[in-house]
Chains A and B, each alone.
Chain A
Amino acid sequence: MMPERKAPDRLKNVVLCFVALLLFALLMFPLYWMAVTSLKNEIEIFKVPPTLVPQVLNTTSYFAQLKHGDFNMFRSFKNSFVISSSVMLIALVLAIPASYGIARFRFKGKRLIILSFLVTQMLPVSVLLTPMFIVFKNVHLLNTQFSAILADATIGIPFSVLILIGYFTSIPKELEDASRIDGCNRLSTFLLVFLPIASPGVVVCAVFSFLYGWGDLAYGMTFLQDQAMRPITAGIFNFMGQYGTKWSYLTAFAVVTIIPVIVIFIFMQRYIISGLTSGAVKG
């Protein structure tokens, strides 16, 4: 792509890269520090001056969790996984048809529907928490994971609808007509023509809906009182209250929580950036 670089250009490139790496290291330092702390023992954590890499590698903070039942972080991990996957499923099942309907049909009130989805994205959790709590209590959904799942999906659905409208609108009418002439009915046109073209958008929605479920604290800790059912974020919060300054355990807990986020980020980076540029909210 680039024409061959002259010497000053090459030097400039090296300097730019160097400064970029410095900026990167500076901004990512908190994450590094958390990961390193989770691998130190308590004595080393208190050491002054602090050590940048663990002098003695200590993995007990992770394995101790496997034995104790009380604050088992792997159980919380599983809970979060169940909640987030269900949120993802609900968001996709509802958002795909909705966005298809909005994008491909003309009907009254369409603009209002789009606007209400946009506004829902900007709602504070606080305004929904108290009334949802009362409703879930009345219909006996409190202390079941359904409550957290149902609540978390309210963030993923509007986001997914808005993203997918863009994908479905961009598909030319001719393509639809051609497949109809070839003998596809509406449903098979949707499944065989529309869905494959919109699949990158579907992936974006799946990833973000999952992450919204994964990151939620407010709903999970308010609607679920039993520690055995709570998501990992609420688990950490409890753990902080209990073991306030046991930082090796706390940071290990935090590292386990972000592992799926980092894995998703590594494999889905393209989709995540595309979601972010289309204005993903911070769930």
Chain B
Amino acid sequence: MNLIKRYFSNGNIGYLFVLPAAVYMLLLVGYPIVSNFILSFQDVTVTTLNKLQKPFVGFRNYRLLLGDGVLQPSLANTFVFTLCCIVLQFIIGFALALYFNRSFSFSKPIRGLLMIPWMIPMTVTALMFKFMFSSNVGIVNQFLQACGLIGQPIEWLLQPRLAMLSLVIANTWIGIPFNMILISTGLTTIPADLMEAASIDGASARQSFFHIILPMLKPVIESVLILGFIYTFKVFDLVFVMTNGGPVNTTQLLSTYSYKLSFTLFKYSQGAATANILFLILFAVSIVYLKFVYDDGKAA
């Protein structure tokens, strides 16, 4: 008893405070990660799900996936989707941050309201864009036809490249606020007298952008891009609702393919293996991100 008391008398009592949350996360996140890993080396389908003894099959699931002709395109699609989204949302978010960083009457309230797309459930965003891109009633086709840019309505979500483009546009709409707010916050850390001194010295807006703003914001830009990558790479809801990977897997991402394998085809082990590939890529990027954050000395 005394020993226990002495152990917890100093800082170690901190463990007791962390314990409930740590146990919760270990059970509901730690265990599933390990279990997903093991699952990907077993053969668990709808018939073997309830059996206690699950056959170990080594790398068979991964081999099957490599041969099924969907995994590699899904991997490629995930990268294309992610890169297009982060480039677009970064450029637009940066431009908006610069614009709303100037002081004028509505700058703060409007910048605040522009956060709304980030808060909205992705399912709703998906429905909204599916409606806007629909071929017969979609405002996008109606607008393009009214401008005389297209004669016939375009099947946005039924043509491979256009479907991917529609997804990128929808996801960029979600990502812009996130990029804008983080860059805005970064901009406010640049001392005003630095910008003033530059303009007194005759620096043009272009010069101050490339020689002051960009270098000063380097750490912020790094984290915005890496976090953007992480959040976009794992997007599921949006694609699942808008195209569900179609037409013919041309917008299939690792996340949606994993879901399809597990919950439409009931090949739980192959679904787990696909999720595992997604996880390993994201885990590697997360480690890179954390290294950046710690190197810049702004750790949590």
Contact = CB atoms under 8 A, between A and B. Distances in A.
B39 A102 contact: no
A118 B291 CA distance: 12
Interface stretch (A57-65, A67-75, A109-117): A109-117
Contacts, number: 293
Contacts of B24: 90, 94, 153-154, 157
A122 B25 contact: no
A217 to B, nearest CB: 4
Main secondary structure of the interface of A (DSSP, over half): helix
How big is the A interface, by class? 35 or more
Nearest to B226: A122
Main secondary structure of the interface of B (DSSP, over half): helix
Interface in B249-297: 254-255, 258-259, 262-263, 268, 271-272, 274-276, 278-279, 282-283, 285-287, 289-290
Nearest to A1: B103
A276 B120 CA distance: 14
Contact of B237 (A90, A217, A265): A217
Given A30-B129, A107-B11, A254-B127, A158 B25 contact: yes
Interface string A23-41: 1100110110110010000
Interface string B85-126: 000000000001001101111110010111111111111110
14 contacts: A16-B104, A24-B110, A97-B20, A98-B22, A122-B282, A124-B234, A124-B279, A129-B262, A129-B275, A165-B300, A217-B237, A251-B127, A276-B181, A276-B182
Interface of B: 10-18, 20-22, 24-25, 28-29, 31-33, 35-36, 39, 44, 49, 96, 99-100, 102-107, 110, 112-125, 127-132, 134, 136-137, 139, 142, 145-146, 173-174, 176-178, 181-182, 185, 223, 227, 230-231, 233-234, 236-237, 240-241, 254-255, 258-259, 262-263, 268, 271-272, 274-276, 278-279, 282-283, 285-287, 289-290, 299-300
